[in-house]
Structures are given as C-alpha cells and as structure tokens.
Amino acid sequence: MHTSRVSSFATRFFLAAVLAGCGESQPAIGGAGALPQDKMPPPATQNLYVINYGTVTVYKPGTDSPFLSISEGINVPLRLTFDAKNNLYVGNTGSNTVSVYSKGSNVVLRTITKNVSYPVDVAADRTDSHLYVANAYKKVTIYKTKDGGYVSTLTKDVNYPDALAVDSSGNVYVANNPGSSTGTVTVYAAGTNKLLLTISDGIAYPIRLALDSAGNLYVLNRIVNSKMNVSSVTEYAPGSTTPSRTITDGLSVPTEAAFDGSGNLYVANYGNSTVTVYAPGSSKVSRTITSGLHQPQSLAFGPSGYLNVANYGDTSFLGSVTEYAPGSGKVSRTIKDEIDFPVFVAFGP
C-alpha cells in the first residue's frame, strides 16, 4: 500500500471520528431487550464481517481466510449494519452512498444515494422498517429497508452527527459532535423527526454509542486538543439525562464499546492500544488486554463469547483482527488474510 493512500485514509477516518423527559404519549426509550452496539439481534449463525479500506471481508467462525470478499460498491467504508431480513448495508464515505447486499452476496442489490453525504454510521431497526444514516457535518436521513426509499431527515438538534444506536422500540440515538461545543446525544421516535430526549450532562465530544441488554445508554466521549486529553464513558439509565456512571480509568481515545454475556463493559482504546474491561456498575478497570493490540478501532463478541478486535495498521503493518477466548487476554487467533486497515468488526449472517 502506498504511503499516500494510508495518509489519505487516516485523515478521512479521523476527521469523521474526531468530529465526531418524555411525555406519557411518547414512545418508551430503551428498556429490556434494547439492541447492543451492532444494532441487530444476533443471527443463528454468526460470521465475522470486517470493514477494510476498500473491501468488506467475511469469515466463518474459527477460520483465518474469508469465504466472501465484497468490493463492488465499496468506497472508503466506515460502518455497516443488517436489517431483519439479513440484508447488509455499508456506508461509503468515498462515494456518498449506502450499498445494499442480499445475504451471502457480494453483488450490489441496490444503492442508496438520495441525501447521502459522507455517511459515517448506518443503523437499521429490528422491525425491518427503517435504515438510519448519519451524514457527517449535516444530518441523519431515514430510508425504508424494504426498498431503500427516502423517508425523511432528522433536523431538530442534529448537529454534526458522528454515531447512531437503535433501541428495541426503534428509537434512534444520535451522537452530535460539532466541535464548537461539547456536543449532545439526541433521541428520536422511530422513523420520525419527533425529538424525545436531549442529553448534554456528561457529554464531551461524543464519538460512539452503545446500548446494553437493559437499555442503558453508554456514550464514548473524547476530548483531544492542545489543552486537554481526557476520555470518558458515561452511562445513562433509560430515559435519563443524568449519568449514572462515569468512567475515566484506563481510557485513552476510546473508539468502540461492547458487552460480554455477563454484562462486563469492554472499551477499545486507540490512544494506548488496549482494551479495558469494567464490571457492571464499576468505574474502575478490572482487567486490561494488551496482547496483539495495535491502535484498536472496533470490537465485537462472536460465537461462544469470543472477543474480536480490529487493529488499525500503519505504513509497515496493514492491520489485523485478533480474537480472545472468554475471560482471556491472550490472543487465540490472528486474522491477516485480506485485512487492509480494518476500522470495524461486526457479526452477522
């Protein structure tokens, strides 16, 4: 890979990353059964999906080489998601498109372009109704998953959206990171412009969102400038605008969060190349994973609770995906075949 290509992609990725109460008649926010950070319930058979610089590669459990490589329609992707019918959606920042693929296919089923502009995150709800696209600097747009038809644009209080999450009621959470202020997280009723909640307490340049199985919201906050280098994760109970927990211990430019089967929180830290683990309710690190990690960008739990981490590369190292057995900090498997500057991992059909 050419150095100029590495520099261009790194610049684009970090530009996207660093920019980065309800009435009785309103839908409930969060609650039991809320979707985890990959936004969809896990399918019966889980394959590992990896977003690389110019491809999405797919690996069967326990294998080191992809059984499927998707390049058609891919152009500097950052995030992907699945709908209830197992269609794959990939947001492409290089072409201002969302490419859609049928299960197991590497041929574009359709391309969504209307009102798409630098899509830094995509999320689909579990009812197979709506796809949400966070367009950096501008807006969140909504589409029908059945045909990709444009529905509407979230406008009220959306300001430089960086990340999305969808709960079990279909409500969408938006991390707003304008740079000129510390930002907010706003919550909207499923498929509509109806603003349900605005969270500002504890928010400091939010870069990523996650929901646990109880519907608690976790916000990854980054402050990185000449005067301050502080990272935090703030937790909010369903419907609350006040943090129930604030974590700073062990954090250094957090990029993704996920939960294991026991409810432990795992955070990937780009700044110090670690994954830090926190017991439920605790703000102190209970365990730190360092083995095999190199500027981790994303993490996800797969079959049997194995943790997979996407490690970003540099001019001499194209990156890798490392896997860890439950409760272990030792690398059990390293994937390098067709890995090319990975920025996101997820499990899907």
What's the pLDDT score for residue 160? 95
Determine contact, residues 260/305, Cβ cutoff 8 Å. yes
pLDDT tens track for 332-347 = 999 999 999 999 999 9
User: Would you say residue 99 has pLDDT above 90?
Assistant: yes
- Average pLDDT of 185-204? 95
DSSP 30-63: S-TT---TTSSPPPSS-EEEEE-SS-EEEE-TT-
What are the two backbone dihedrals, phi and then psi, of residue 261, each rounded to the nearest 5 degrees? Answer: -65, -15
What's the pLDDT score for residue 229? 62
Report residue 187 as tokens: 């919550």
Buried b (16+ CB within 10 A) or exposed e, 147-157: ebeeeeebeee
Report residue 326 as tokens: 């439950």
Domain that holds residue 30: 3-348
The H-assigned helical ranges of the chain are: 3-18
- Contacts of the segment 334-337: beta carbons below 8 A, 24+ positions apart: 334/64, 334/292, 335/48, 335/50, 335/59, 335/64, 336/64, 337/64, 337/65, 337/66
User: Would you say residue 179 has pLDDT above 90?
Assistant: no
Among 44-58, 207-221, 274-288, the range scoring the smallest mean pLDDT is 44-58
Instruction: Give the pLDDT band of residue 23 (cuts 50, 70, 90).
Output: very low
Among 279, 278, 276, 299, residue whose Cα is nearest residue 288? 276
Determine contact, residues 329/317, Cβ cutoff 8 Å. no
Q: What is the mean pLDDT of the chain?
A: 88
Residue 171 carries which side chain, given as an amino acid letter? N
Question: 92: which strand partners?
Answer: 77, 97
What are the two backbone dihedrals, phi and then psi, of residue 119, each rounded to the nearest 5 degrees? Answer: -75, 105
The H-assigned helical ranges of 1-127 are: 3-18
- Percent of the chain past pLDDT 70, that is, above it, reads 85
What's the pLDDT score for residue 228? 54
DSSP state of 27: P
What is the 3-class SS of 288-323, one letter each residue? Answer: EECCCCCCEEEEEECHHHCEEEEECCECCECCEEEE
CA separation for the pair 160, 186 (Å, rounded)? 12
Domain with 230 in it: what CATH number? 2.130.10.10
CA separation for the pair 232, 209 (Å, rounded)? 12
In total, the chain counts a number of residues equal to 349
What's the pLDDT score for residue 227? 53
Residue 30 carries which side chain, given as an amino acid letter? G
pLDDT tens track for 101-119 = 999 999 999 999 999 999 9
Considering its fold, how many domains does the chain have in total? 1
Report residue 331 as tokens: 């690398």
What's the pLDDT score for residue 25? 39
HSE-CB for 52 with a 13 A CA cutoff: 23
pLDDT tens track for 289-305 = 999 999 999 999 998 89
User: Would you say residue 81 has pLDDT above 70?
Assistant: yes
